[in-house]
Structure 1
Amino acid sequence: MDRQVQIDQARAFRRMHDRTAILLLPNAWDAGSARLFAQRGFAAIATTSAGVAWSLGYADGERAPLAEVLAAIARIVRVAGLPVTADIETGYGETPEAVAATVRAVIAAGAVGINLEDGRPGHGPLRPVGEAAARIRAARVAADASGVPIVINARVDHWLQHATDPAAPLADAVQRAQAYRAAGADCIYPIGLEDRATLAALVQAIDAPVNVAAGAGMPAPAELARLGVARVSTATRFATLALAAVDRAATALLDGGRFDALASAFTYADAQRLFAPP
């Protein structure tokens, strides 16, 4: 990607976080899904680490080789023509220096944003707040040195770790969010938090855009906007929806011996048009 185009996309993506309107981010897992989202009119696209890993033949949790993930990100960037933010899980490395190297490689692949988790790979235990903040600081320094002002979305994984009262992790999550902001994060992502009152309290407690994961149990975008949420991403939802549709059709084919389940409103011609020359 041309570096000035990437810088312009990064600046545009940063402006989308001004909290005047919710940014809806679909998470792509391959070039086809990215192109579809771009043509449907989304302003930017995210990747899903799980969906990308599955498409490459690996489980989620940094099991997909980084080189293959980077190649997938580059393909998504190439076909999208929009700002792309990449889910890099915990940063593919145990040290801040390793995280910085990953960030430089992701920027080289064309991304203008990253998700960075504060747990250990595979939704493991949360890192101490100082250690997690140091990794974000390393990502920020690497991005600044590259000249591409990427948006760092710092994930707070408390609500993936605790299945108790949703308000229980709030104090620690606020402390983490504030530390991550001080380290250079631009956006805070309390993944798994669906409770309205706790979400509203978190938004009020931190001066930063907040990202939530879309799902059947989440409030509608209008209500999320009233709560002060700035960004909504779809995580694995679109990827699992696609797999679910194929699973239903495959099961029907095996069970019924008929081909009716293969009927689709989205055809070969529709897919071809996604990649037709302009």
Structure 2
Amino acid sequence: MSDSLDRQFIELHEQGLLLLANCWDPGSARIAARAGAPALATSSAALAWSHGYPDGGKLPPHLLVETASRIAATNPLPLTVDMEDGYSDDPDEAARVADELMVVGVVGINIEDGAGTPELMCEKLAAIRRAAQKRAVSLFINARCDVYLRGLAPEGGRVAAVLERAARYQEAGASGLFVPGLRDPGEIAAIVAGTSLPLNVMAVPGLPPLAQLRELGVRRLSAGSAIAEGMFGYVKGVTEHFLATGTLDAPPAGPARYSELNAWMEGPEGAA
């Protein structure tokens, strides 16, 4: 494998199915590394919650960069960071955030189209790719396509909608395609066949097992915010039990729901 972290991360997408157990701070990153992770990836939601902000563009970008810097400084593995929609509708501003991440050692990013237009996404991808070229970094730009997650196309038309966006995103500079919410084996196979971008899916109920994902040609599987949801749910349960009983023998608690965690973190601007 290459010596440079950016090339290492690219090569991991060429060697089978890359599993990313998303982290949110240096401690969770160290745990992921100790568990055997070949690379590190942040979850935007988990990172925002760890700072007391809800997910969805609420985290001040400087906290994202500072956290990424601390993770990169304390771990020798390739690091990719979820930067949501770039925290701006201005492609140059999104590229500025990506550039700051590269300065601190990040070699991959996720950026999502969300509710924005494919045209805006392409402008952001192109601006980020230009910034990476100026840094001489082979940045892995994972383009998140929210057609399934947000229901942006009717059932039966989602594969075609994803592939149309994938072609445009690849031309604009994307290195990979992330389609959260995709789980049907036939649709996964059709998307793999329809693009040369390595396909990333998210671990969700109903997703085919690992062996089948490998057979289908999926190249990356992300935990998303699920690990953090389990951790925060446990913390809440133990805390409530301690405050009620003064003891630490709380029964096992289930994960907190994404919507619950976002609600817990809502508050006055700057409260965190």
Scaled to the shorter chain, the TM-score interval is: 0.7 to 0.9
Corresponding residue of 2:34: 39
Secondary structure of 1:148's partner?
coil
Deviation at 1:144, TM superposition (A): 1.1
Give the % identical residues.
36
Instruction: Trace 1:132-147 onto structure 2 (pairs within 5 A).
Output: 132-147=121-136
**CA distance in structure 2 between the aligned counterparts of 1:138 and 1:7, rounded to whole angstroms:** 27
2:54 corresponding residue in structure 1 = 59
What's 1:266 paired with? none
Unaligned runs of 5+ in 1: 1-5, 120-124, 264-278
Distance 1:64 1:128 in 2: 22
The CA deviation at 1:131 is: 2.1
How far is 1:42 from its partner?
Answer: 0.9
Partner Cα distance (1:188, 1:29) in 2? 22
Any residues of structure 2 matched to 1:65-214 within 5 Å, and which? 65-119=60-114, 125=115, 127-162=116-151, 166-214=155-203
Query: What is the rounded CA distance, in whole Å, between the counterparts of 1:47 and 1:167 in structure 2?
Result: 32
Structure 2 contact 91–123 (Cα < 8 Å) conserved: yes
Q: Which residue of 2 aligns with 1:16?
A: 12
Report the equivalent of 2:229. 240
The range that moved more, 204-213 or 214-223, is 214-223
Partners of 1:84 and 1:96 lie apart in 2 by: 22
**How far 1:23 moved relative to its partner?**
0.5
Q: Which residue of 2 aligns with 1:260?
A: 249
C-alpha deviations, 1:32-55, integer Å up to 9, x for none?
100111112111010011111111
Q: Could you state the TM-score of these two structures normalised by the residue count of structure 2?
A: 0.87
CA distance in 2, matches of 1:111, 1:84: 5
Counterpart contact for 1:210–1:230, Cα < 8 Å: yes
Q: Residues of 1 paired with 2:223 and 2:181: CA distance?
A: 12
Distance in 2, Cα, partners of 1:256 & 1:220: 41
Structure 1 stretch 87-96 or stretch 44-53: which is displaced more? 87-96
The one-letter amino acid paired with 1:23 is: L
Q: Is the 8 A contact 2:41 2:80 kept in 1?
A: yes
Q: Cα gap change, 1:136/1:163 in structure 2, threshold over 3 Å: closer, same or farther?
A: closer
Classify the secondary structure of the residue corresponding to 1:28.
coil
Q: Distance in 1 between matches of 2:207 and 2:244?
A: 35
Cα distance change, pair 163–154 in 1 and its aligned pair in 2 (3 A): closer
Matched residue, 1:231? 220
Q: Which amino acid aligns with 2:12?
A: M
Q: Deviations over 1:142-196 (max 9, x none)?
A: 1111111110000000112119865432211110001111111111001111222
- Tell me, yes or no, if the aligned pair for 2:69 and 2:104 is still in contact at 8 Å: yes
Q: Supply the RMSD in Å over aligned alpha carbons.
A: 2.0
Q: CA contact under 8 A between 2:147 and 2:153: conserved in structure 1?
A: no
Find 1:28's aligned residue among 23, 26, 36: 23
Q: TM-score, normalised by structure 1?
A: 0.85
Q: Equivalent residue for 1:49? A: 44
Per-residue Cα deviation, 1:98-125 (whole angstroms, up to 9, x for no partner): 1111111110121000001012xxxxx2
